[in-house]
Structure 1
């Protein structure tokens, strides 16, 4: 994807990423976590502002720092890194609100041509996950890397 991104920091397990959003509201620390679910083949993508009180993600915070596209590009960069490390798993993502889920759909749509080359993409409708199609409202999204990491 050719979009500006923030520099990501991660730890050795490649499941937690951090970056700083820069904009009119100042420097805002952001976290991305790939969290295990009850299904060992599916990880949940959690994203939001870093809450210094809990040291966790606040996925309801509204930063409004004027850098939405750069943030989405950064989250997708973390998705690439994570799925390069764990190529056989799926990543599930849904917004903490309907508006955020719509924002994710708009981001996928904007970069769909590139993403469909690298990921199997599915949209959630109830308990079903049909192939992602542009123009359909989904409750969540599922992605898996198409190309497996090559062994040396």
Structure 2
């Protein structure tokens, strides 16, 4: 097992993954959700602290910054969930972004620093609105400010 990533538990269709962050603020229960968009092949990746969970629904707070001191483990866990998710849904595009510019910058930095390794398994694109207001993919650029990212398994 990769010592950086947390153990995941998944729902039956592998669209919700739960794990526990352990760090300087204690244990925090978190979830990663892949939600199908209006485009059947595009799934939004949502991530955050669990605020409610039962057998049928998991609600997350994706605005809270836990600052639990385990960012590398959390990123490794989210990436691991993307591998598992795309094994089940190989034609899916994963969309992720944030209205928080600091989070978007973090995502861009992570992708930029790890692009060679990520590109072995995934195609990575930027996400922008076109003139009609539709969300489209564009070539990934570490220098460009965009609203999010798409990833797709090769």
TM-score normalised by L of structure 1: 0.88
Which residue does 1:86 correspond to in 2?
A: 89
Change (3 A) 1:132 1:71: same
112, 120, 124: which one aligns with 2:123: 120
Counterpart Cα distance in 2 of 1:3 and 1:104:
21
Change (3 A) 1:55 1:79: closer
Deviations 1:91-119 (A, max 9, x none): 10012412111111111122111111111
TM-score normalised by L of structure 2: 0.87
Establish whether residue 136 from structure 1 lines up as the match of residue 144 from structure 2. Answer: yes
Change (3 A) 1:29 1:77: same
Counterpart Cα distance in 2 of 1:92 and 1:108:
14
Per residue, is there more strand in 1 or in 2?
Answer: 2
Structure 2: segments with no counterpart, 5+ residues: 131-135
Pairwise CA RMSD: 1.8
Q: Which moved more, 1:29-38 or 1:135-144?
A: 135-144
Note the 1:21-100 alignment, pairs <5 A: 21-52=21-52, 55-100=58-103
Change (3 A) 1:96 1:19: farther
Number of positions where the alignment pairs a residue of Structure 1 with one of Structure 2: 145
Counterpart Cα distance in 2 of 1:95 and 1:78:
19
Q: Which moved more, 1:100-109 or 1:137-146?
A: 100-109
Q: Which moved more, 1:12-21 or 1:118-127?
A: 118-127
Offset, 1:3: 7.2
Which residue does 2:133 correspond to in 1?
A: none
